[in-house]
Structure formats: C-alpha cells, structure tokens
C-alpha cells in the first residue's frame, strides 16, 4: 500500500474529527459535506488495502474491502442527505453544537466501518454512541431528552458488556484483529461466554427486541435529519458488530443459535402488532426496524447453529444492512413531510406516488435478505433440519401490513403545523428513493436465483395487500372495533412507572421511615439502659471481672480455645 492511500484512509475519520471543532467548522461553508470528501475519494479508488497502527489503542488498524465499501457508500449517502436537512430543516442554519455532535458521530461511524480489529471498532462505536446521544438531545425538547436519556443508559450497559467480551478476546490472543480473534476463540473454553456478551451488547446498540425501548422513542422524538440516520448509523453498526465480532463459520453454537431464532420469531410478531397500533407514521418506522432486524438476527442464529452457512452469511449479510439503511432513510422524509401537512388536499398526487413507492420499498425489504436464506440450497440437509427457514419469506407479510398502515397514516391529519418544509426535503427524499431502489435491484439481480426468491415472496405480499384492503373497507363501514394506540416505548413505560414507584418508596424509606425507625430504636435502647436491674447486673459483672483470678482464668480459657481451633 502506498503512502497516499494510507493517508486517504486515515483522513476518512480524522477530517470529521478535526472539523468538529467549532473554531474550524464555523469558518467554513458546508463543513458537514466537506467532511465526507475523503470517503467519496476512497470509494472512487477500486483497490483493497489496509494499514495497522500498533501504537494506537493497544493496536488497531483501518482498511477497506468489498464489504466495507458497500457500508461506506451507504453511509456517505445517508450523511450527505442528513447534512442537507441539518443545514436547511425549515430554511434555518444549524447551531454550532449540533454540527459538532454531527461531525463527531460521522467520524465515529466511518471509523467503525473501516476498523480492522475489535479495539478500533469498540472505540469508534463508543464515540458514535455518545455523539448520537448529543444529536438526540440537542433540540431541547422534553421528549427528545427523554429518548436520549434512555438511549444513553442502554449504550453505557452495551459498552460495559462489549468491554467484557473484549477482555475475553484479549486473554486468548494478543492480536485483536477479527480473524485472529475468531481463530483463537475456536480453541478457547470461553467462546460461549464471548458469543453471549457480543450478542447482548450489539443487540442493545441495534435496538433489537427485547432491548428495543430507545428505538421507537428516538424515531418519534428526534428531528427528521437525525431519524434519517437511525437505520444506517446506530442500528447498522450494531448489526455489523455482530457480523465482525462473532466467530461465524468457526464454531457451532446450536443452542444459542436456535434460541435467538425463537427470539427473532417472537420479535417479528410483537413488532408487527405494536407497529400496526401506532398513531404516528414515524413511530411506526421504529417497529418496522424491529421486524426487519429480527429477520437478520434469525439468519445470524442459523449461521451460529450451522457453521457451514455462517461463513457465507458473514460475507453476504452486508447487502442486507445496505438495503435496510437506505430503505429506512427513504421513508423518513415522507413521514416528515406528512407531519407538516395540515390537510389531505395538500398531499398532491406526486407525493402520494412517492409515498406509495416508499411503502412498497418497506414491504419488499425482507426480499433482499432471502437470498441469504437460500444458502445452502433448499434440498440441503442443513436447511432441511432448520424449522425456522420455512418462516423466512413470511416476514414479507408483516412488512406489507406495516407499509400499508404507514401509507394510511401519511394521508391523515398529523398535527396543526402550517409551515411547509423547504423544497430541499423533497429533493433529498427523491434521491434516497432512487438510491434505495437501485441498490435493491442490484442485490436482487446479483443473487444466485432471483426468480425463486420472487416465487417465495409473492404469496405473502398478496395476502398482506388483501388483509390491508379488507381492514380498510371494514374501517370505512365502521365495523372495526376501536383499538387503543400503543405509545412508543411500549413496555418501557410500564417499567418506568414501576421504577418510579420503587424510587418514591425508597425515597420515603430514606427520608421518612428510616429516620423514624432509628429514633424509635434509640429511644427504646435508652429506656432499657435506664432500668435499675440492668444497671445493677452490669455493675456486678464489671466488679467480678476486676478480680485477677477471674480475669486470668478467662484469658487461659480463650488461649486454649484458640490453640485447639488453630490445630
């Protein structure tokens, strides 16, 4: 690798870090777009290369290959679109603090994609978590601050869990590169603990069910530019971490693999039901993420159960993450536009057509991952032994129902806001739709047997459309019972309520009950000490111990007892 390529690779995360300083980005035009320039140039260089920095963070490195190039391209598109919305959300420039958090999160996200080892990935993902917390709470809205607090708490727990996994890897090998760690864990007795820690930590970072509570809240409360990044930054990096840290193809973990497949099955059912009961289009997208990522986790569980498929899944699952990030990003501007519309009549036919195209993109999101499910072929005994494989195409039924519900919510009165967003939002939406459809078509065309995937999907897709149309017709006829909407955060609200009661009980114990009990106990002890019988007994005992004979006898008895016990 030549020196210019190494400098270019290093500039991808370093330039956004430098521009995060207010003294620099306040003197530049379009600093958030300028920070992406090294990444754009790196994408134009077709070579695969890397370099190591043994003096940095106990040894880390940066590199780019075919898989990381896909993720880097997705991130460039999303960050460029988000930077445009940040600069012109409603025609007003962003503040210095928001730009600083924005650039810090961008640098960490790009660095995590290019990291070639566990230490670098952990450091960048931790920085990204704290930077994204700043993006969530920067608006000052109470709902955004609440979502940010929950997100930060989950990220702290995730980093602690992943640090434990990192220590396990470090005790087994001095080289913390991905391949070296996988090979070392194949000979280690702590591999099961390592896998459990990695799954738990990155499930927290990706908002996977049942550790999803921060995700719907963030979709509901964050600004549109930040919501646009949710699928391609924190969720995507969590899924990438699972792929890179887990020893897929090295060891078989049948119980763990089957267990997370069942968790994924419950997650898709729960995400679908909770998403259909949402009253806001953006909140529904949070549950759509849970449904789609549950399919990814099920595929991952299949790879842990069968190592023969794990290696292939590790190589091709980046296409799934690419499709997920771009699809969710294409849905966010449509929801943002709908939030600013005060009447159905304002929703023009072209906007309805774009919304329908985005809804179709959501419905077909699992289609892009079904090529992974067909590895190995359907007649292979590995696939035949997995009872979950037959359920994979039916994820399309769930996403179709969610897409129809999302499309219905777009046409409803959202909130009484008269400000029409800047035309730049519509332009970003069109670009993201075009890029998402192009990437989806490329993934479908490059699959081994695209027509077989279509054959698996058209039945659930048609069934979802029929169910959606039937429910809509019954709703028009007023034959559907009124079902209360689920508040974003669902079970977290119940947990938060019980935690609040526990906190109030503990506070009352600390400030009221315990001091009262202490006073009562001291008073009772004082009254006992004032009894004459006790005083006489204590005085007699004290006078007896003053005698030398009794004191020496007690001392000898204690010495004999100590000698017997020590022997």
Residue 121 has what pLDDT? Answer: 92
State how far Cα 5 lies from the chain centre.
Answer: 32
Backbone φ, ψ for residue 456 (5° rounding): -75, -25
Residue 239 has what pLDDT? Answer: 92
Residues 121 and 204 grouped into a single domain: yes
The predicted-structure confidence for 343-400, as pLDDT tens digits, reads as follows 444 456 666 777 788 888 788 777 665 555 444 443 443 444 455 556 767 788 888 8
| Percent of the chain residues past pLDDT 90, beyond the cut | 11
State how far Cα 152 lies from the chain centre.
Answer: 11
Residue 454 has what pLDDT? Answer: 66
Separation between Cα atoms, residue 267 and residue 273, nearest integer Å = 10
Range of the domain at 438: 248-485
Residue 112 has what pLDDT? Answer: 92
Q: Is residue 374 within 8 Å of residue 358, measured between CB atoms?
A: no
Residue 125 has what pLDDT? Answer: 92
- Long-range contacts (CB closer than 8 Å, 24 or more residues apart) made by 430-436: 430/354, 431/77, 431/81, 432/77, 432/81, 432/228, 432/326, 432/329, 432/330, 432/333, 433/330, 433/354, 433/357, 433/358, 433/361, 435/77, 435/326, 435/330, 436/323, 436/326, 436/327, 436/329, 436/330, 436/361
pLDDT at 82 exceeding the cut of 80 = yes
Whether 544 maps to a domain, the answer reads no
* Mean pLDDT, all residues of the chain: 77
Q: How would you class 194 by CB atoms within 10 Å of its CB: exposed for 0-12, middle for 13-18, buried for 19 or more?
A: buried
Residues 199 and 257 grouped into a single domain: no
- Looking at 485, 510, 527, which one is the last position of a domain? 485
The helix (H) or strand (E) run that includes residue 81 is helix 66-87
Residues 237 and 264 grouped into a single domain: no
Residues 30 and 57 grouped into a single domain: yes
Whether 516 maps to a domain, the answer reads no
Separation between Cα atoms, residue 504 and residue 23, nearest integer Å = 45
Q: Which whole number is the average pLDDT over 94-104?
A: 81
pLDDT at 92 exceeding the cut of 50 = no
Torsion angle defined by CA atoms of residues 41, 44, 47 and 48, in that order, rounded to the nearest 10 degrees? 70
pLDDT at 220 exceeding the cut of 60 = yes
Q: Is residue 291 within 8 Å of residue 284, measured between CB atoms?
A: no
Separation between Cα atoms, residue 220 and residue 306, nearest integer Å = 38
The predicted-structure confidence for 323-332, as pLDDT tens digits, reads as follows 888 888 888 8
pLDDT at 419 exceeding the cut of 60 = no
Residues 193 and 291 grouped into a single domain: no
Residue 122 has what pLDDT? Answer: 92
Backbone φ, ψ for residue 241 (5° rounding): -60, -40
Q: How confident is the model at residue 238 (pLDDT cuts 50, 70, 90)?
A: very high
Residues 381 and 428 grouped into a single domain: yes
The predicted-structure confidence for 20-66, as pLDDT tens digits, reads as follows 888 887 777 888 888 899 999 988 888 787 777 776 666 678 888 88
Residues 462 and 448 grouped into a single domain: yes
Residues 296 and 198 grouped into a single domain: no
Which of 281-295, 302-316, 336-350, 489-503 ranks highest by mean pLDDT?
A: 281-295
Cβ neighbours around 142 below 10 Å, total: 9
Whether 491 maps to a domain, the answer reads no
The predicted-structure confidence for 462-505, as pLDDT tens digits, reads as follows 888 888 777 777 766 666 565 666 677 666 666 666 666 666 66
Q: Is residue 328 within 8 Å of residue 403, measured between CB atoms?
A: no
Whether 368 maps to a domain, the answer reads yes
pTM of the predicted structure, to 2 decimals: 0.80
Cis peptide upstream of residue 209 (ω within 30 degrees of 0): no
What SS3 class is residue 233?
coil
Whether 497 maps to a domain, the answer reads no
pLDDT at 560 exceeding the cut of 70 = yes
- Looking at 485, 502, 520, which one is the last position of a domain? 485
Cβ neighbours around 479 below 10 Å, total: 9
Residue 205 has what pLDDT? Answer: 92
Separation between Cα atoms, residue 344 and residue 414, nearest integer Å = 10
Cis peptide upstream of residue 119 (ω within 30 degrees of 0): no
Number of independent structural domains in the chain? 2
Separation between Cα atoms, residue 336 and residue 42, nearest integer Å = 32
Whether 164 maps to a domain, the answer reads yes
Which of 129-138, 437-446, 458-467, 470-479 ranks highest by mean pLDDT?
A: 129-138
Q: Which whole number is the average pLDDT over 449-473?
A: 74
Residues 188 and 286 grouped into a single domain: no
Residue 490 has what pLDDT? Answer: 66
Separation between Cα atoms, residue 394 and residue 184, nearest integer Å = 38
Residues 347 and 458 grouped into a single domain: yes
Whether 28 maps to a domain, the answer reads yes
The predicted-structure confidence for 141-189, as pLDDT tens digits, reads as follows 788 888 888 899 899 999 999 999 998 888 888 788 888 888 888 787 8
Backbone φ, ψ for residue 183 (5° rounding): -65, -40
Whether 309 maps to a domain, the answer reads yes
Separation between Cα atoms, residue 337 and residue 332, nearest integer Å = 9
Q: Which whole number is the average pLDDT over 299-319?
A: 78
Residues 307 and 227 grouped into a single domain: no
Residues 315 and 301 grouped into a single domain: yes
Residue 167, CB-side half-sphere exposure with 13 Å CA sphere:
8
Cβ neighbours around 30 below 10 Å, total: 12
- Looking at 198, 220, 246, which one is the last position of a domain? 246
Separation between Cα atoms, residue 80 and residue 87, nearest integer Å = 11
Which of 119-133, 218-232, 465-479 ranks highest by mean pLDDT?
A: 119-133
């Amino acid at each position: 690798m030549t020196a210019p390529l190494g400098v270019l690779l290093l500039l991808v995360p370093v330039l956004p870090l430098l521009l995060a300083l207010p003294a620099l980005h306040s003197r530049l035009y379009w600093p958030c777009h300028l920070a992406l320039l090294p990444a754009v140039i790196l994408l134009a260089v077709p070579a695969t290369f890397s370099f190591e920095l043994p003096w940095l963070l106990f040894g880390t490195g940066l590199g780019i290959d075919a898989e990381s190039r896909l993720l880097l391209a997705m991130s460039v598109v999303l960050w460029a679109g988000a930077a445009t919305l940040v600069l012109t959300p409603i025609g007003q420039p962003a503040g210095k603090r928001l730009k600083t958090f924005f650039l810090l999160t961008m640098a960490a996200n790009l660095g995590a994609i290019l990291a070639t080892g566990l230490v670098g990935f952990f450091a960048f993902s931790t920085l990204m978590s704290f930077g994204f917390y700043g993006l969530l709470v920067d608006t000052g809205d109470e709902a955004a601050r609440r979502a940010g607090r929950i997100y930060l708490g989950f990220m702290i727990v995730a980093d602690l869990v992943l640090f434990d996994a990192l220590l396990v890897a470090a005790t087994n090998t001095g080289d913390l590169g991905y391949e070296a760690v996988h090979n070392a864990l194949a000979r280690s007795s702590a591999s099961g603990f390592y896998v459990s820690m990695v799954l738990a930590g990155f499930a927290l970072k990706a908002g996977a069910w049942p550790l999803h509570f921060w995700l719907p809240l963030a979709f509901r409360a964050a600004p549109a530019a930040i919501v646009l990044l949710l699928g391609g930054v924190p969720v995507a990096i969590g899924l990438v971490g699972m792929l890179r840290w887990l020893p897929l193809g090295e060891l078989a973990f049948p119980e763990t693999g089957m267990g997370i497949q069942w968790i994924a099955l419950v997650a898709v059912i729960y995400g679908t039901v909770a998403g259909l009961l949402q009253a806001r289009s953006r909140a529904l997208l949070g549950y759509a993420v849970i449904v789609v990522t549950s399919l990814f986790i099920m595929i991952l569980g299949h790879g842990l159960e069968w190592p023969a498929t794990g290696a292939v899944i590790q190589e091709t699952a980046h296409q799934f993450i690419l499709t997920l990030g771009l699809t969710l990003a294409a849905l966010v501007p449509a929801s943002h536009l709908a939030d600013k519309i005060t009447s159905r009549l304002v929703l023009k036919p072209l906007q309805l057509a774009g919304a329908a195209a985005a809804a179709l993109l959501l419905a077909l999101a699992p289609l892009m991952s079904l090529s992974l499910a067909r590895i190995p072929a359907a007649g292979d005994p590995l696939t035949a032994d997995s009872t979950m494989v037959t359920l994979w195409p039916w994820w399309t039924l769930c996403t179709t129902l969610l897409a129809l519900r999302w499309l219905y919510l777009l046409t409803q009165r959202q909130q009484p806001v008269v400000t029409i967003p800047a035309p730049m939002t519509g332009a970003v939406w069109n670009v993201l739709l075009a890029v998402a459809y192009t990437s989806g078509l490329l993934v479908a065309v490059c699959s081994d047997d695209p027509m077989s995937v279509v054959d698996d999907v058209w039945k659930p897709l048609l069934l979802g459309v029929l169910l959606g149309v039937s429910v809509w017709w019954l709703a028009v006829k007023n034959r559907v019972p009124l079902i209360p909407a689920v508040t974003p955060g669902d079970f977290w609200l119940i947990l938060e309520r019980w935690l609040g009661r526990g906190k109030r009980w503990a506070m009352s114990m600390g400030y009221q009950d315990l001091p009262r009990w202490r006073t009562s106990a001291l008073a009772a002890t004082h009254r006992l000490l004032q009894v004459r019988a006790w005083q006489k007994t204590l005085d007699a005992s004290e006078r007896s111990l003053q005698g030398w004979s009794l004191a020496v006898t007690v001392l000898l008895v204690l010495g004999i007892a100590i000698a017997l016990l020590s022997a």
